[in-house]
Amino acid sequence: MKPVILSGGSGTRLWPVSRSSYPKQFCEFFDQSFLENTLDRLSAFGDPEVITIKSMATLTERALKKKSLNASRVVYEPLQKNTGPAVALSCHLALMNGVSPNEVLGIFPADHLVADEEEFQRILKIAVEEAQKGEVLTLGIRPHSPDTGYGYIETQGEGEGALSVLKFHEKPSLEKAKTYLAQGGFYWNAGIFVFRLDQMIEAFQKFQPELWKEISGIQKDLSNLEYQYSKLPNISLDYAIMEKLQNLKCIPSDFGWSDVGSWDELSRVSDEMTELRTSGEQKVFQVESRGNFVHALQNKVVGLVGVDNLLVVDTPDGLLVAQKGMSQKVKELVQQIKESGSITVSEHPFEWRPWGGFEVLSDTDHFKVKKITVDPGARLSYQSHQKRAEHWTVIDGLAEVTLDENPHILKSNDSISIPMGSKHRVKNIGQDPLTIIEIQTGHYFGEDDIVRYQDDYAREADKK
């Protein structure tokens, strides 16, 4: 099977940890990020392909690098057009690149959790076998509660193996969800689909002929990708294809699946999956308090007195306190914050770059302090600033700093001053990550105050 991972979405329901510049699939709530877990889970079936938006390139390629996967496995959409065009693009590129029409493709969200990976692989093998016969399949999750946060798939009867799909249902009211469970034959829609390449292309040609016409006009070198993509509708694969198929099959599944789509859900799975918790204990102390969930910075002391069933989520620049059972309303909260003009909806104090990353420790009108981390062998662009000077102190690692063409070797506790207008760059020449504290002084500290003279990553002058 050719696994295709769809890595889109903004993850606003998990604010303030997940934000548009650092969405849920890259967040490390457990042992590693959701995308990394998904890559691991699917590696048994073949090298996964990732489809994502161009703005997520750095985060995506860092995740692939951790798994020793080549960045050529990534397809970058120029515009977000939902899952329908993304799957059509994957099918078109597969055909152009010589993939057999009889090859089986699997479509998987990047940001879901699976507790029982052995059962997941067993079910998926059944799906692949059925797809090889010409069936189009979806995996339906056996509901353990009348959840209103998921869409439902109605099947013809109950049982094991592939069941005929009668209808897709939108996220229901609580009463309707209870009816679904009592009636039986209803499953949560996990957004996982398995099919043969020729079957899906035929479905696009039949049900979305205009969409497929534009997709099939994309050239092999992708030189006209943005132009063709701009003409596509924003439509999900469910609406575009799956709800129109007469022979769609659903395999009932129970492999500990969760879309981890809210803080309530994260609280639930955290209680059940203690073995996946990140290392380092949170220091949470409670007096006459019960049923609370706390997600805070490691080593930060959190105290709760006389409160029950709260969700407390703390980050350096954002704090969420919500009643359990109300976390679906976080999207409304995020919209209010966005309308206020706050950048905490979209940006974190830290950012990742192709060479490493940085975290803003202090930002005032008169100075700015960053902690910069450079990967082994990586280097920043050769650049200058017109509105600020910088002072670098090496905290850990070995650095080669080029200042106006002159090289300087700096080790731990060494420092160097970079005058306003001077050309400079730093390279990590050690075997371990290089950590630098950068102090900026001047009258403007925006990331766009950069003149680039040479860059290993061919970036524009708005990203350091």
Q: Give me the percent of the chain exceeding a pLDDT of 90.
A: 79
Position 274 confidence tier, pLDDT thresholds 50, 70, 90: low
Residues facing 391 on adjacent strands:
417, 439
Token pair 């496995």 is found at: 73
pLDDT tens, residue by residue, 193-247: 999 999 999 999 999 999 999 999 999 889 999 999 999 999 999 999 999 998 8
What whole-number distance in Å separates Cα of residue 441 and Cα of residue 447? 14
The DSSP result for 182-247, as a single string, is: HH--EEEEEEEEEEEHHHHHHHHHHH-HHHHHHHHTS-TT-TTHHHHHTTS----HHHHTGGG-SS
Count of Cβ atoms closer than 10 Å to residue 197 Cβ: 20
Mean pLDDT of 177-190: 93
pLDDT at residue 157 above 80?
no
| Pairwise CA distance, residues 250 & 258, whole Å | 18
- Does the pLDDT at position 25 exceed 70? yes
> Tens of pLDDT along 290-308?
999 999 877 789 999 999 9
| Pairing mode of beta strands 451-454, 382-384 | antiparallel
pLDDT in tens, 360-379: 999 999 999 999 999 999 99
**Angle, alpha carbons 299-300-306 (nearest 5°):** 130
* Residue ranges of the chain assigned to CATH 2.60.120.10: 350-454
pLDDT tens for 305-333 read 999 999 999 999 999 999 999 998 999 99
- Integer-rounded Cα Rg, in Å, for the chain is 25
Given a cut of 70, whether residue 462 has pLDDT beyond it is no
Cα 156 to Cα 172: distance, rounded to the nearest angstrom: 19
CATH architecture of the region 2-258: Alpha-Beta Complex (3.90)
- The C-alpha atoms of residue 64 and residue 58 are separated, in whole angstroms, by 10
Q: Is the pLDDT of residue 13 over 80?
A: yes
Overall CATH class of domain 350-454: mainly beta
Residue range(s) in the chain whose domain bears CATH number 3.90.550.10: 2-258
Q: Which tens digit of pLDDT belongs to each residue from 26-74?
A: 998 887 899 999 999 999 898 899 999 998 999 999 999 999 888 788 9
Instruction: Dump pLDDT digits (tens) for 77-106.
Output: 999 999 999 999 999 999 999 999 999 999
